[in-house]
Structure 1
Amino acid sequence: MLSSVAGALIGAVVGWALASLQKTARPQQEYAEFRGLAALQKSLWTETSKETALQDGAKNRERLRAAKVLGKAWPVQMLCREADPSGKAPTSGKLLHFIRHGQGFHNSLNDFCKVYQVKAKPYNIPEVFDPPLTEIGRQQAKALQSRARETKAELVVVSPMSRALMTSNIAFAHCIGHVPFLAHESCKEKSHGNSCDYRRSASDAKQDFPNVDFSLIPEEDPLLSTLHMESDLEVAERAYDFMLWLRNRSETEIVVSTHSAWLFSLFNAVLKCDDPALSEWFVNGEMRSVVVSFQ
């Protein structure tokens, strides 16, 4: 079960982190210590994680520009604007709630390495293959529940990766048994060649997420056997095809639980956003509600 996997992962990660600490200088800032559940709520978004989001946004915008996919022209134009705060359904287009998953163990390790100045590749150690959420990540997903209840979601589409599946099941727990949850390969994270970028088998995921329909995805991650590293164009094309699939769905209000690099590609290379803030890098556990019209 996923809980036992998470427990084993915690032990491996802690051991790796402590061993790494022995080789590093004193940190510029202290890593947060547990001070009880009340204090935990104040640690959901650390300054380090916010700084990482800003850095990742700037770095990836330059990557997209260099790859000539930033603001790319597509056969079907997709115009994006912020949704009405009242939740009013649009007269045309789709009302979409995009979520970046809560903090995964790979995200926590990356922050840890930054704070303690550990020169390592935390996204590529074997222990973070298809990593689950940390407790911080679970709390971030739980923090979305009040907003989630205000939606009128007709469908929850989710990346078949554990952290995205956990996030949607927690944030939209009230929809389980009432609204379809559907896994889709086209909204999984960009594959950079790191262990955290690939997923476990669909049959394994089904055991932990029986409410999710996995019928649209192949049993195995098609990129795992070769550790394929996707180009920026490949990810943009995948995001574009996914949006065409959404356009053809009968539902008007849809939730998409997915990942940061994929979302950044979608909002910067595929969608034409009327507000630059919409195209910024998502932080863990963030949900943006937008209306997308197709022309």
Structure 2
Amino acid sequence: MAPIIHCVRHAQGYHNLSVANHSMPDPSLTPFGEEQCRHLAQNFPHHKSVDLLVASPLRRTIFTTLHGFTPVIERGVPIIALPEAQETADVPCDTGTDITVLKEEMKGKPVDLSRVPEGWNNKAGRWAPTASALEKRAREARQWLKARPEKEIVLVTHGGFLHYFTEDWTDYKDALGTGWMNVECRSYLFADEDGDNATIVETEISREARRGTEKPLTRTEQMELRETATKTWEEGGYHPIQAKV
């Protein structure tokens, strides 16, 4: 049976503070972001049932996982860095650290970097900030997670990437980026289909907790909204979701 996926946006990073900070390479968490992680560690409702932690290999997502899911880590649950879940744009704050440096920084920490290849942060080829490349690696991330044997998985990633991963565009914010708040969590199930897309749907409990009983958009409506979002970002001078999220 495919796992439940609890998607979490990272805590506040230094790039979230100002436009000037978008030039910071792979920024880490602010003190307030660290406080958000402590709150997450105290209040996330699924700590006892999660049996795998997965994070984008950028610093802000790794440290959100390390600090926000300490009750899970203390049970011996590993953190696997998933390069497919890195952020969408090619600006410095969304570009990861070279793997040799990252391995040294994470030495002694329960972070498995074995899936992160050399060149994962080049933002070219499969890692390019284009809609087609982003859709492909979001699908690859879903396929990898769907094939995992665990029953409940936390994925800590980025607001921009989450739109591609969930294929949910209902709360995009024009050229500003994402509607996902820092450390916001939404839970998803894989759809009852065996297609290569590995489609996920938000659980009713998760959706109603943030949107009430509002009827979800159909897949066709979501794709129409995706086209609107992409066009809006591009007309605003952004790559697909190049807003700082």
TM-score of the superposed pair, with normalisation by structure 2: 0.67
Distance 1:156 1:171 in 2: 11
Residue in structure 2 matching 1:175, options 56, 72, 90: 72
User: Which residue is equivalent to 1:164?
Assistant: 61
Farther-moved stretch of structure 1 (130-139 vs 196-205): 196-205
> Given that residues 181 and 211 in structure 1 are in contact (C-alpha distance below 8 angstroms), is that contact kept between their aligned partners in structure 2?
yes
Indicate yes or no: 2:131 matched with 1:252.
no
> Given that residues 206 and 212 in structure 1 are in contact (C-alpha distance below 8 angstroms), is that contact kept between their aligned partners in structure 2?
no
Gaps of 5+ in 1: 1-91, 111-120
After superposition, the Cα gap between the structure-2 partners of 1:242 and 1:150, relative to the gap in structure 1 and judged at 3 Å, is closer
> Given that residues 3 and 148 in structure 2 are in contact (C-alpha distance below 8 angstroms), is that contact kept between their aligned partners in structure 1?
no
Residue in structure 2 matching 1:285, options 177, 183, 201: 183
After superposition, the Cα gap between the structure-2 partners of 1:264 and 1:196, relative to the gap in structure 1 and judged at 3 Å, is same
**Equivalent residues in 2 for 1:1-295, closer than 5 Å:** 92-110=1-19, 122-123=21-22, 125=23, 128-148=24-44, 150-151=46-47, 152-176=49-73, 178-190=76-88, 192-209=89-106, 210-223=109-122, 229-268=128-167, 281-295=179-193
Farther-moved stretch of structure 1 (179-188 vs 280-289): 280-289
Aligned length, in residue pairs: 184
Gaps of 5+ in 2: 173-177, 194-245
Give 1:234 deviation, angstroms: 1.3
After superposition, the Cα gap between the structure-2 partners of 1:231 and 1:294, relative to the gap in structure 1 and judged at 3 Å, is farther
Distance 1:175 1:207 in 2: 23
1:233-252 superposed Cα distances (whole Å, 9 cap, x missing partner): 21111111110111111111
1:167-211 superposed Cα distances (whole Å, 9 cap, x missing partner): 001111122251011001100111x22101111122322333321
Q: From the CA coordinates, give the structure whose radius of gyration is larger.
A: 1
After superposition, the Cα gap between the structure-2 partners of 1:206 and 1:294, relative to the gap in structure 1 and judged at 3 Å, is farther
SS at match of 2:44: helix
Match of 1:258, as an amino acid?
T
> Given that residues 146 and 190 in structure 2 are in contact (C-alpha distance below 8 angstroms), is that contact kept between their aligned partners in structure 1?
no
Match of 2:29, as an amino acid?
L
> Given that residues 123 and 129 in structure 2 are in contact (C-alpha distance below 8 angstroms), is that contact kept between their aligned partners in structure 1?
no
Distance 2:183 2:56 in 1: 14
Moved over 6 A (4+): none
Identical aligned residues as a percent: 27
Match of 1:200, as an amino acid?
T
Distance 2:121 2:12 in 1: 25
1:45-65 superposed Cα distances (whole Å, 9 cap, x missing partner): xxxxxxxxxxxxxxxxxxxxx
TM-score of the superposed pair, with normalisation by structure 1: 0.57
Match of 1:163, as an amino acid?
R
Distance 1:239 1:225 in 2: 15
> Given that residues 93 and 293 in structure 1 are in contact (C-alpha distance below 8 angstroms), is that contact kept between their aligned partners in structure 2?
no
Distance 1:156 1:263 in 2: 16
Structure in which a larger fraction of residues adopt helix: 1
Distance 2:32 2:187 in 1: 23
CA-based RMSD of the aligned residues comes to 2.6
